[in-house]
Amino acid sequence: MTNREGFAVQARRPAMYVLGALLMLSASGAALAGPKNGVIGVISGGNPELGKTDAKTMCIVCHGADGISPVKGFPDLAGQWPQYLLKELHDFASKKRDDPLAKGTMIDAVKTIHGNKEMEDLVAFFGSLAPPKPKPVPTDAKEKALWSAGKAIYYGGVRATDVPACEACHSATGAGIPPEFPRLAGQDKTYLVEQLTYFHDGTRANDPNGIMRDVAGRLDKQEILALATFIPTLSGGNPTTQLPHPSDTDSGD
């Protein structure tokens, strides 16, 4: 029995949540929907060109003209699943997502967006952009140790505390599974640490069925830091394409 197979037996409770969410989403046809016409950024009703115009006045200071944030702690939006971004905008508007970062920025910023159509244009624009490139695997001994620990958690979970493998929802390459499970590959490390901590503490509570609160609540600070060190180095390949498992093909170790 491999480590991954052994973990699948151990991580019963979180795995049930993950499986339940995936079944619920796939039943609606949303979870496994691939890019339309090969373009990830297409969303029904969204116009990327109009979104680009709106983004210039609303978004680029924090998220960058190319969707790559110039500010540490703010997420890169380029190449993110539009369905996920649209959900988050609605959660900001309703204050369902009101973590500390949201309270200081997005809850006010979303008030300047005029209706769902403008939201769809914005998310279509950011989804159409080239996603962030994977960050290099660290060479510093301390950072490399964190990277290796994060890799083990991402693909194998934490058996002792029943933490499931992150790839179950975010895919082996970190590309995510729309609409609920976002792309993580190449994401800003500081942002990842903050959001995992918010889920851990329960200060971010807009996750479907409480999955992230349950999972992150089982992580300690060192494990959160390890994941946030590893995840930005993921390639982010299309989750609808069969790819070799990164743990078998990468040369990071």
Binding residues for heme c: 59, 62-63, 106, 166, 169-170, 212
Taking every pair of C-alpha atoms in the chain, what is the biggest distance, in angstroms? 55
Tell me how far apart the terminal alpha carbons of the chain are, to the nearest angstrom: 22
Please name the residue ranges forming H helices in the chain.
3-10, 12-27, 48-58, 60-63, 82-94, 100-104, 106-109, 115-128, 141-156, 167-170, 189-201, 211-216, 221-230, 246-249
Binding residues: 59, 62-63, 106, 166, 169-170, 212
Q: Each residue of 125-136: b (16+ CB within 10 Å) or e?
A: bbbbbebbebbe
Which of 69, 57, 25, 199 has its CA nearest to residue 121?
A: 57
